[in-house]
Structure 1
Amino acid sequence: MTNTDVGITDDEGSTMTLGEGRTPLIPSTHDENLYYKHEGLNPSGSFKDRGTALTVSKALEEGIEKLHVCSSGNAALSLAVYTRRAGLECVCHVPEQTSESKKQLMEALGATLVEYDGVYEDIFHELREKDLDGWNVTPGVSNTSLEAYERIAAEILAQVVPEQVIVPCGNGTNLAGIWRGFEKHGESPAMVGVQMKGAAPIKKALEEEKSHAVVEDPGESLAEGIIASESFNCAEATDAITASDGRLEVITETELEAGLRELVREGILPEPTSAAVKPVADRYDGVTVAVVTGSGLKNYTELRELC
C-alpha cells in the first residue's frame, strides 16, 4: 500500500507549516505485532502541531492577530512555536503545575504566559466565558484539530492495517479525529482510549451511556496531559469508541511508570503521558498501533529520575 492509496498528499490544508505530520511508525523491539506512531517527532514535540498548523493558517487567512489557548502544556507550547513563526501574538493559559520546562520554552518563544492556581478544567470554563481580545483556539472550544488528526489514520494505513489503535485521552480529540480518518478510508480498527485510574471521565460516560461525565478529584499524575475531571470532546470520543467496538482502558500510576521505562528501553523517549499506551498495548493481541503523543525531551527531569 502506498501513500497515494490512502489519500496522503503534499497539501496538508495549512498555509503555515513547519513540516508537521508524516511521523514514523516504529516497530516494537519486543512484539512483532506492535507499532509506535511517534507523534513526539513533530516540530514542537507533540501531535498538537497538526491541529495548530491548521488553526494558525486559518487565523492568518481571517486576519486574526492574537490567539489564546488553555492547555496543560503541549497545546500551549505548540501554539507558541507556530505563532512565533507566523508573527502572531500568543497567550498561553496554563495551570501552575504545568512542567517548568514547557513553561520556560513558551516564554522563550515570546508567548505571554498566564498561570492559574487551579486545574485545567477550571481554566477552560473561565476562559470560555471571557470576552477575549483574540481567538480562543483551545481544543474543545475550537474543533479545527479534529480535521487535522484524521491524517494520522491515513499515515498509519500507508504501512499497516491495525486491529486496534491505542490513544492517550485527555479531551479525547485525538482519538476522535483519528477514528474519522479511518472511517473515511473504509477501515474500522478498535479505538482504545487510555486514561488514569480515578481520572477517567470518558470511561464514566461510556458506562453511564452519556455524552459527557465529570469525575470528582482526579488527583495528580505524571501523565499531566490526560489527568482529567472532564473531557471536552467526550461526545466525539465516546462515539468513536462505540462505533469501532473499542473501549476505554484505565491504568495506575505504577503501570504508567513501568510503561515509561519499557519505552525508553526500546529507544523511544516519550513524555510521561505518552507512556500510558505501553501497559495497555500489552493487553492486546494482533496488529496494534500505539500512538506516542509527545516527546520526553520536554520532560527530561522526570525521565532522568524514573529511568
Structure 2
Amino acid sequence: MPQPDQHSHPDRPAAEANADTSALSPAEARARFRAGLVTPTSGYSAGFAQANLLAVPQEYAFVFLLFAQRNPKPCPVLGVLEAGQLSSELLAGGDIRTDVPLYRVYRDGELAAEVPDIREHWRDDLVAFLIGCSFTFESALLDNGVPVAHIEQGVNVPMYRTRVPAAPAGRFSGPLVVSMRPVPAAQVADAVRITSRHPAVHGAPVHVGDPAELGITDLARPDFGDPVEIADGAVPVFWACGVTPQAAVMESRPPLAIAHAPGHMLVADARDIAYQVP
C-alpha cells in the first residue's frame, strides 16, 4: 500500500518551538492541540504521562484487548473509553476527538486521512484504547543525566517495523514496532535500569545494539518519525512502541480504526510517577 509521509508535521510555529512546553499542564497542552497546534509531544508537560491512541468499532474491541494482553510490552493499556465515551480521568474535561495534535484514520487497513480533528470521522460505537507511551519515561532519563537525542535535536523519535511478530489474537496480527534512542555506551545500563521501572509505558528495552538483529536495515530511514544523529560512542537502544497496534491495523485491515499520528500523543492528566515501580 502507498505509504504516507511518516515524519514530523511542518506546521509548528517558531514561537511555539521556543516556548518551554515542558512546563505546560496537560490541560494547557491539550487546549493548544484542540486549537490547532500540530507538533510531536515529546518534552511536553514534564512529570505527566503520555498515551498512544487506538479506537476501533465495539465489535472488534474485545479482540484488540486480547491482542494488547498478549503483547504487554508494546501495548500496555492505561485506560479504555467505552463506546461513544469522549473523556475520562486521563483527560478530564477533554475530548478524545480533538485533544491529540494529529490523528490517523484507517479504513480497511489503508490510511484514509491524517487530520488534527477527527469529529467528522467519529462514530458512537468506537471504543478508544489509551496505551502507554515511552515519552512518559523520558523525564526520568533526563533527570538522571541520560540524553534523549530526538529532544536535543528537535525532531520526532525514530520508529521502525521489525521482523519480530507480535503475538496474534483473532484477526489482529502484525510486526513489533520499536522506538530508538541512541545512548552513550557508558549510560546504557542506567537507561535500562531507569526504564525498567516503568513497565506500564513499555519498560526496559527489547534490544540493545545491532539493529540488524531486529531486521532493521537502515537507522537513517525510520518507518515512522524522523532519523536522529547518532553521536560517536552512542549505542542504539530499542524500546517496544505503541505504534505496534497501527501496524496490526495495516496488516489485519479492520473496516475502521483511528489512531494518533506517530509521535503525536495524548498528554494525560496522570503523573508519570503513577506508572513507576520501586
Output the TM-score relative to the length of structure 2: 0.29
Q: Of Structure 1 and Structure 2, which has the larger fraction of its residues in strand? A: 2
Considering fraction of residues, name the structure with more helix. Answer: 1
TM-score (structure 1 length as normaliser): 0.27
